[in-house]
Structure formats: structure tokens, C-alpha cells
Amino acid sequence: MLTNAPKGTKDVMPKDVYKWQYVEKVFSEICEEYGFKEVRTPVFEHTELFTRGVGDTTDIVEKQMYTFEDYAGRSITLKPEGTSPVVRAFVEHKTYAEVQPTKMYYIIPCFRYEKPQSGRLREFHQFGIETFGTGNMLADAEIIGLAYDFLNRLGINDVELHINSIGCPDCRRKHREALKNFLLPKYDQLCDTCKGRFDRNPLRILDCKSPVCRELTQGAPMMLDYLCDECSTAFTELQKNLTAMKIPFTVDPGIVRGLDYYTKTAFEFVSNKIGAQGTVCGGGRYDNLIEEVGGPSIPGVGFGLGIERLLLVMEESGVVIPKPEGADVLIAFMGERGKAYGLGLMRELRALGIRTEMDVLARNLKGQLKYADRIDVKYTVVVGDNELDTGMLLLKDMRNSEQREVKMEEIKDVLIEKKGER
Ligand code: ATP
Ligand code: MG
């Protein structure tokens, strides 16, 4: 027990962390290029934020939240998604009083009590972005474009963009009735979860992962046929914008986002490389959320992109993330004088940006050189009493075992030069 991570969680060990650092760097860079600024919010929030924001008929709120009471009896929840906390912060800090729109991005852990499987964890991580302060489809196209460019920049080109409109509460009411009429004769065959959804949130039945429910919803009335003029015009506008940006998409009336707060635009980037958990990125518009959690009536649009799934897709698509190189140099030392000299030189080299190591296990010379080999160091410098007396250090190129002597006062310049050559 003590030596197992909790079910549904994963460590990222040093040998793999470079993959995370790489995608995080590319994501931050592209967000900054698009004019999004990073926002950091707490890992936990008041539970009501999610029951109000995400909606209490959603899977997340009904059965997936990590909720507990703190010592003062407050109900606290580890964030299961990123949008509501950012909305809360936007309202709390009155950011809407500044120049609009507000464009923010974040990199966060999310917590959901789910059945763990490939691409589905209890602690997972998301890249997210949000644009607040405009209902214009330029914003929807901008964030979809950002996700598209991000995936492309990573070298992923086999994910497909699916878009839909799930309308506004007005169009949804009409669709809801039609959907219930369609499903009523099949009610008994629905899975238990969907039976529960039938009255409270029938739209979610269209998003059920059970094959039986999928079959039963074949031919069900689609939201797209129930859009009011405003929602319909917006959807056409979005498609025009995406076409102008040369971003390929498929209209997929089957897309129903898992969170209650979505209005109009809904979209997903889907990969067929990673099995059932194929949705890498999901997002959409939420014109009522900010008001719902107690702020002014301000529209918003955003997406969440699962980092674990992203890495799975990259692996399956054969995208190679550049591995970090070994240290530039290891100073192998002998004796007290060699050690003292090495410690001084190591600090100087590090200050020059040369990645330098000494063996903190203080093995013998043979052991130090073997260690240098195993951690893939490029050069070793050997220093002991002899070298200090003659003023000549032994520099060894670990890749071809070539050795040469270098004057003590030239060693820094030589190593800087070597680094520059690569
Ligand atoms: P799904 O339909 O796969 O359950 P979702 O609709 O619940 O996804 P969102 O809430 O939209 O997902 O989250 C955005 C993204 O976060 C997803 O597209 C996915 O990449 C990722 N994600 C969601 N839940 C998990 C999880 N439990 N483990 C790993 N990644 C997840
Ligand atoms: Mg889910």
C-alpha cells in the first residue's frame, strides 16, 4: 500500500518528465503568441462553484468529485475541471472591468473519481484556455485555431476536428421534448445511468458510452435541427471563419459536451489512435456560466485538452520528442587538492551555462569515469595532484575516447568552444 500510488494516479518520473516539459513549453509558447496570459487558481474550491457551474445533473457533479469537509466544516472540492475556477477568479477580481476580451490559459491537475483505464485517470492534467467578454464567433474560431495549430506544431496530424452547435436554452427546450418523445418507447432498454438522465438531462443520453445506448440513440432528433435563428447564424459564421483559416472540420451533430454550461459552439479534436478514449481536446461556448456563478452576464468560450491523452496520441502516432542530452562535462577528481579545485571549477563552469557534474559518491577514478559514461556525459576533465602540479588537465571526449592535455587556464575556454560546436 505504502509504496503504491493511489488507484487512477500516475507518477511522472525523471526519465519521462522531458515529454511533459516539452508539451508544456510548446503550449505556453503558442498561447502567448495568440495573446493568452497564464492564470493560476487554487487546486480546490468551494463545492458550490462546481455544483452551480458544471451543473448538478452532470456525471462529474453526480459521481466524480473529490469532495471533503475541511476542519471548519466547509465543503471543499478538488477541481474536476478548469473553467469554473477561472470564471470565479475573473468575477472575484472584476477582470471584466479591464480591457476586453480577457484571454487566459492554464496548465492544471484535475480530479475525477472515474473507472481508471487507458486515457482515463483519477488525477489527470489539462491544458486549457478561455476567452471571456465576447459572443462573436471570431473568438470561437480563434481558440479552435489555437488547438489546431498546437496539435500540428507537436507533429500530430491525424486528429479530426468535429464541431456542433448545442444551441441556447431556448432551442434546447424544444429539442429536449422531441428527444424525450423519441426515447420514450426505448426507455426500458436504456442503461441505468441514462434512465436517470431521461428526465433531468436527456441530452446527455446522446453522449453515453454504452454500446446499447449508442444503438438506441441512432436516428434521434439532433440539436442542429432545432437551432433558433441566432444560434443557427452563429454556427454558419463559425464555419465561415474556420474555412477562412483553412482549418478542416466535420459537422458532427452527435457532439454533446459533458458539462451543463455549454451553449452554441461545441467541438472536439478526436484521434482514432488511442481507442475509446479518443477525445484529446473538448471545448465550447458557455454564454450563461459567468452569470450562473454570480458574475455579470458575460459570454465565454474555451477548451480543455487532456495531457495524458495527448502524450498517448503522440506515442501512437510515432511523434518523437527530443530527449534531453547528458551533462556537458564531468570533473573526475583525485585527492583533496583535486576535489577542492574541481568544486571551484564546477561552480565557474555552471555559471557559464555549461552543465557540469562531479561524482557526489566520490568513487575512485575508474568508478567516476564509468559513472560519466553511464549518465552520458560528453567530456570528462581529470584533475589530481599531478595535474595541479604540472598545470595540465586531461580532457577526454567520451564519445570517441580521444584525449588531450589542456592548460588549466584554458580549460574554460576550451569547454565553451566545445559547447558552441554542438
Ligand atoms: P470523456 O467524454 O472522455 O469522459 P469529458 O467530456 O469528460 O471526456 P472534458 O471534461 O471535456 O472531458 O475534459 C477535457 C479533456 O480532458 C478531455 O477531452 C480529455 O482529453 C481529458 N480528460 C477528461 N477526463 C479525463 C480523465 N479521467 N483522464 C484523463 N483525461 C481526461
Ligand atoms: Mg468524462
Query: Do residues 165 and 235 lie in contact, with contact meaning Cβ atoms separated by under 8 Å?
Result: yes
Ligand 1 pocket, CB under 6 A: 81, 112, 114, 119-121, 124, 126, 258, 277, 279-282, 304, 306, 308-309
Strands 123-132 and 300-306: antiparallel
Q: How far is the CA of 258 from the centre of ligand 2 (A)?
A: 7
User: Residue 101: is the preceding peptide bond cis (ω within 30°)?
Assistant: yes
DSSP 359-386: -TT---HHHHHHHHHHTT-SEEEEESHH
Atom number of ligand 1 nearest to Cα 309: 20
Residue with CA closest to ligand 1 atom 11: 282
Backbone angles phi, psi at 5, to 5 degrees: -65, 150
Residue 40 to residue 382: CA distance in whole angstroms: 47
- State the chain's maximal CA–CA distance in angstroms: 95
Closest residue by Cα to residue 254 from 207, 202, 190: 207
Atom number of ligand 1 nearest to Cα 207: 2
pLDDT tens digits, 289-348 = 999 999 999 999 999 999 999 999 999 999 999 999 999 999 999 999 999 999 999 999
Could you give all domains of the chain from N- to C-terminal order, each with its CATH number? 14-168+228-316 (3.30.930.10), 329-417 (3.40.50.800)
Closest residue by Cα to residue 162 from 275, 33, 266: 266
Average pLDDT by stretches of 10, the chain with 422 residues: 93 97 98 98 97 86 94 98 97 97 98 95 98 98 98 94 94 90 92 89 86 91 94 98 98 81 92 85 95 95 97 94 95 98 97 97 97 96 96 95 94 92 74
Which ligand sits nearest to residue 306's alpha carbon? 1
pLDDT at residue 200 in the model: 84
Sequence-ordered list of residues with C-beta below 8 angstroms from that of 217, at least 6 positions apart, any chain = 183, 205, 206, 208
Tell me the C-alpha to C-alpha distance, in Å, between residue 363 and each of 202, 276, 286, 333, 359: 68, 51, 61, 9, 7
For 18, counting Cβ atoms within 10 Å of its Cβ (0-12 exposed, 13-18 middle, 19+ buried), the class is middle
Residue with CA closest to ligand 1 atom 20: 306
Backbone angles phi, psi at 193, to 5 degrees: -60, -45
Sequence-ordered list of residues with C-beta below 8 angstroms from that of 26, at least 6 positions apart, any chain = 150, 153, 154
Q: Which residue type sits at 252? A: D
Q: How far is the CA of 121 from the centre of ligand 2 (A)?
A: 10
Closest residue by Cα to residue 131 from 141, 139, 119: 139
> Which residue among 50, 115, 277 is best mutated to probe the pocket of ligand 1, counting the most ligand atoms within 8 A of its Cβ?
277
Sheet arrangement for strand 279-285: 37-38, 102-111, 123-132, 300-306, 279-285, 263-271, 159-165, 250-251
pLDDT at residue 258 in the model: 61
Sequence-ordered list of residues with C-beta below 8 angstroms from that of 74, at least 6 positions apart, any chain = 46
For 155-165, letters b (16+ CB in 10 Å) and e give: ebeebebbbbb
